[in-house]
Amino acid sequence: MRTQVGIVGAGPAGLMLSHLLHLRGIESVVLESRSRDHVEHRVRAGVLEQGSVDLLCRAGLGERLLREGLRHEGIELRFAGESHRVPMTELTGRAITVYGQQEVVKDLIAARLAAGGRILFEADAVRLAGLDSDSPVVHFRRDGREEELRCDFVAGCDGFHGVSRRAAPEGALTTYERTYPFAWLGVLAAAAPAVTELVYAHHDRGFALYSMRSPEISRLYLQVAPDEDVAAWPDERIWAELRTRLETVPGWSLTEGSILEKSVTPMRSFVVEPMRWKRLFLAGDAVHIVPPTGAKGMNLALADVALLADAFAGWYDRGRADLLAGYSATALRRVWRAQHFSWWMTSMLHRLDRDDPYETKVQTATLRYVATSRAYATSLAENYVGMPEV
Ligand code: APR
Ligand code: PHB
């Protein structure tokens, strides 16, 4: 099999890259180890920055997004028994849209297949070869047989556990990382959201987040231990804990409903530099991870591939190598902005250390500063809705 750009991974990064390349007349093949059903139903992130919504709309993917996505103009912070709204749109002129990552993935798969795009599901990339030649090869396994995809370039969009990043030789890439001593228990519930905007709560018992997917479905998160066993969280315990951590506002109550899904996600900050080795270009979770507190993961993946698609178009249409050469440095500016913001939100909102009351006092002072200073609230807001330039 032969194509121009061989793409490993059908998450938001790989699929969006394939779509953007198609719009510019560049061919690609996407290899995805899981089934179509699996990738379309995996519950992941849910917040799109204004820039991501604009990008999806410009690429012709806005129809269902604008109809079903929930546009939010603020978020709420709860701490020390108080509630404060950060009026993001008033402060920045921009908004976010709540729309599940799996919905973005469904829209992208539908658009690629309708345009005759090639996505091979249950095709597991096992090895990349010839990356330092002008004809790299992705070796993949499908139906128990090993096959080859020959291409001009490989885009490694295969997430944190993928094979692409590991194809660069030892010492070629530098890793920067931090793990946090907690995880999130994520819950999807058939319960009408009891809030109209996302609520980020700082509580002595740990962080909680109230998000949503639709007028009928709530998406909730609780800070838990990094090695937490989901089995220790029967539904009643989840609701009781959410009630305690979120009920900082008199008269407010949680809407309960049946829990459809629960899972534990570790929290990690991770960046690999550069985002390129020879003819391998890395994008999305394959090359950087943020803790979910800043809601940046999916947005970074989309921003990476928007740059990469422009760079490939420069190469194929105009014989320009400079955009490909500059891809990593340009993308990393946004990546590190998001790294800082996600680390800052995470540090401000979680219970960091049970034995350090000083830490808690500083967190409360930081939250109160956001709540009372227009300048500081604007800093949070402009990062949250996404900075146009970084
Ligand atoms: N061969 C083929 N596909 C692979 C391989 C492999 N060896 N390894 C992993 N994959 C696939 C995974 O099954 C997954 O579908 O690569 C895809 C990577 O997709 P994502 O993990 O969704 O990563 P990305 O597209 O970068 O999107 C980042 O995902 O985890 C969230 O918060 C994160 O929102 C962010 C988004
Ligand atoms: C989500 O809705 O899944 C979500 C929202 C905000 C976050 C993280 C996740 O910070």
User: Using one digit for the tens of pLDDT, what is the confidence trace for 206-265?
Assistant: 999 999 999 999 999 999 999 999 999 999 999 999 999 998 777 788 989 999 999 999
> Which of 136, 193, 291, 292 does the annotation list as catalytic?
292
Domain ranges of the chain: 2-72+95-177+268-346, 181-266+353-385
Let me know: does 127 contact 61? Beta carbons within 8 Å. Answer: no
What pLDDT was estimated at residue 247? 81
> Which of 296, 316, 327, 350 does the annotation list as catalytic?
296
Mean pLDDT score, 372-388: 97
What pLDDT was estimated at residue 253? 87
* Ligand 1 contact, 155 CB (< 6 A): no
Task: Please give the number of the atom of ligand 1 that sits closest to the Cα of 285.
Answer: 26
Phi-psi region of 368 (alpha: psi -120 to 50; beta: other; left: phi over 0): alpha
pTM: 0.98
Let me know: does 218 contact 210? Beta carbons within 8 Å. Answer: yes
Choice among 41-45, 69-73, 93-97 with the minimum mean pLDDT: 41-45
**What is the best residue among 42, 47, 207 to mutate for testing ligand 2's pocket, by most ligand atoms within 8 Å of CB?**
47
Specify the DSSP element, H or E, that contains 119.
Answer: strand 118-120
Decide whether 2-72+95-177+268-346 matches 181-266+353-385 in CATH topology.
no
Residues 6+ apart with CB under 8 A from 249: 78, 83
What pLDDT was estimated at residue 283? 99
384 is catalytic: yes
What pLDDT was estimated at residue 251? 79
327 is catalytic: no
350 is catalytic: no
292 is catalytic: yes
DSSP H stretches of helix in the chain: 12-23, 36-41, 50-58, 63-68, 88-92, 101-114, 235-246, 297-318, 322-349, 357-372, 374-385
200 is catalytic: yes
CA torsion through residues 28, 33, 34, 40, sign: negative
* Ligand 1 contact, 8 CB (< 6 A): yes
Residues 6+ apart with CB under 8 A from 326: 311
What pLDDT was estimated at residue 389? 87
DSSP H stretches of helix in 43-188: 50-58, 63-68, 88-92, 101-114
* Ligand 2 contact, 213 CB (< 6 A): no
Q: Which ligand is nearest to the CA of 69?
A: 2
- In single-letter form, the type of residue at position 149 comes to L
Instruction: State what percent of residues in the chain have pLDDT above 90.
Output: 95
The pair of three-digit structure tokens given for residue 138, joined into one six-digit string: 């992705």
28 CA → ligand 2 middle, Å: 31
Q: Measure the CA–CA gap between 30 and 319, rounded to whole angstroms.
A: 24
φ, ψ of residue 374 in degrees (nearest 5): -60, -40
* Ligand 2 contact, 296 CB (< 6 A): no
CATH 3.40.50.300 fits 2-72+95-177+268-346, yes or no: no
Mean pLDDT score, 9-13: 98
pLDDT band at 379 (very low <50, low <70, confident <90, very high): very high
273 bridge partner residues: 174
Mean model confidence pLDDT for the chain: 97
What pLDDT was estimated at residue 384? 98
pLDDT at 141 over 80: yes
Class of domain 181-266+353-385: alpha beta
What pLDDT was estimated at residue 353? 80
What pLDDT was estimated at residue 248? 75
